[in-house]
């Protein structure tokens, strides 16, 4: 069974540019989470989808971040325009209800 996959694995962009991260959850998992780990800090929650609906987006830093989950399958996280402080590792995870989450390998975003 395929795990959670994220693309790209690395992205280096200039400040002001746009980047779109993609996450393909495990098939059948209704819950999809986005998290971010900034250098030296803890993993922080960004948002949570249940199927195609945004259940909780309280962790989204600001309106430069936009997440979608088309048809309840894969999800994208777009940052536009990117700022230096957006650098970090963005993790996606999926799960069934109230069970453990499985993580993708993460996308390392560097904004220069």
Partner 1 sequence: RKEVEQDPGPFNVPEGATVAFNCTYSNSASQSFFWYRQDCRKEPKLLMSVYSSGNEDGRFTAQLNRASQYISLLIRDSKLSDSATYLCVVNMVAFGNEKLTFGTGTRLTIIP
Q: Name the residue nearer to partner 1 (CB basis): 101 or 111.
A: 101
Name which position in 75, 106, 109, 111 contacts partner 1 (CB under 8 A): 106
Q: Which residues contact 78 (CB under 8 A, 6 or more apart)?
A: 18, 19, 20, 21, 65, 66, 67, 68
- Closest alpha carbon to 54 in 83, 77, 32: 32
CB of 56 to partner 1, least distance (A): 5
Residue pair 12/110 in contact (Cβ under 8 Å)? The answer is yes
- Residues from 35 through 94 that contact partner 1 (CB under 8 A): 35, 41-45, 48, 50, 55-56, 91, 93
CB of 31 to partner 1, least distance (A): 7
């Amino acid at each position: 069974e395929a795990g959670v996959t994220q693309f790209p694995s690395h992205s280096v962009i200039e400040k002001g540019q746009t980047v779109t991260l993609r996450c393909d959850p495990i098939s059948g998992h209704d819950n999809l989470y986005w998290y971010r780990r900034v250098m030296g800090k803890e993993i922080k929650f960004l948002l949570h989808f249940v199927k195609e609906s945004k259940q909780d987006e309280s962790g989204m830093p600001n309106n430069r971040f936009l997440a979608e989950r088309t048809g309840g399958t894969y999800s994208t996280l777009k940052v536009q325009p990117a700022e230096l402080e957006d650098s970090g590792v963005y993790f996606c995870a999926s799960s069934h209800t109230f069970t453990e989450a499985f993580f993708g390998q993460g996308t390392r975003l560097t904004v220069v």
